[in-house]
Amino acid sequence: MIRFKAGVPRRAGPRRNHLTLGRTRARARRRQRLRRLLALGLPTAWGAVAITYKLACPLAQQNGLGARIATCAVFFAVGTGLMLHVRRGLLRELRQIHRVAGAAQGVLLRPLPPSVDGLNVAAAQVSADRGARVGGDLYEVIGTEHGVRVVMGDVRGHGLAAIGTVAAVLGSFREAVHDEPELPGVLRKLERAMARHLRERAKAEHPSSGLDPDSPVAEEFVTVLLLEIGRDGEVSALNCGHPWPYLLRADGGAAEATGRERGHVEHLGFGDPLPPLGAFPLPAELPVVRCGPLLPGEALFLYTDGVEDARDSTGRFFPLPAALTEATRTHATSPQEVLGSVFTQLLAHADGLPTDDVALLVLANGRTQVPASHREQVATPL
């Protein structure tokens, strides 16, 4: 006889697990059959009531006004019941589809952690397509052994049609940032992933004749901004046709210690960017832009062009610099507060949802020490 010690759970063997799984599946199948039977049973019952009334009820055989009114009331009730039943079923399926779509979109553009290697992070995204949580904008922040690497991108067009391109670029970025020691290597992999995606779409849309010049695939591209923030706060960038970010400086702190202007919003710009991915081949040389240090108490505000292109009822564009100035004056450089302030002003300006996809990303240096190389000199602007 085999004895088990008290308090030690008995392990189920493979056969026991198999039987338990089989019973669970059988119960699930029975519940599914019951739901189908109920879905068919109620309309059948309503139809049976209508037919029985028409054939067996003496009142239905009369031609008087009262009898006709009663017959109309019965069939109206039957029709109303059937429509409500169909509506309830459609709403149930719609809720299930929304749950599945929300889960898939959450995996594609997953929520960012509040902090990555000492950098405080906040992001928000709104699709221009009603009902879609993910559109043509993309972002990701990943801590690696090479530093914190960031991507911000904007696919041509918006909404559900751009999700495939977003998936291709983000999937490649999440792998390349760990494998490639330099930013140009990451960008090369993004370019190859974009080219593969466009070829596959072209084959799917035109399997016999190849890429049609009038096809949307022939004109699809994505703007990309790649950033690398090292342990010492040094920022490097590669820009493929994307808007340059804003630098937000808080009052006091490291900005004051290094002589930087306090409470200032500065739009960064470093010459002409590279061409967007998919539009033209990248050049043989990819010069990395050295942007300078991101000091403690400073933040970078990244965005897509849907922010600046948002218009109010009079056609006036959204004043992003003024909104950032107001946000930093009220909330310093707290990513969540700055993001919430700008997003609230944007929605109020556009009187609801903008007409284009919008993505915002704030990266604040939450590290407490200023690197020694920047403490003894007046740092150059990013």
pLDDT tens for each residue of 190-229: 999 999 988 888 777 766 555 444 455 557 899 999 999 9
CA atoms within 13 A on the CB side of 89: 13
Q: What is the pLDDT of residue 87?
A: 79
Confidence of residue 182 (pLDDT cuts 50, 70, 90): very high
Q: What is the pLDDT of residue 363?
A: 95
Q: In the predicted model, is pLDDT for residue 14 greater than 60?
A: no
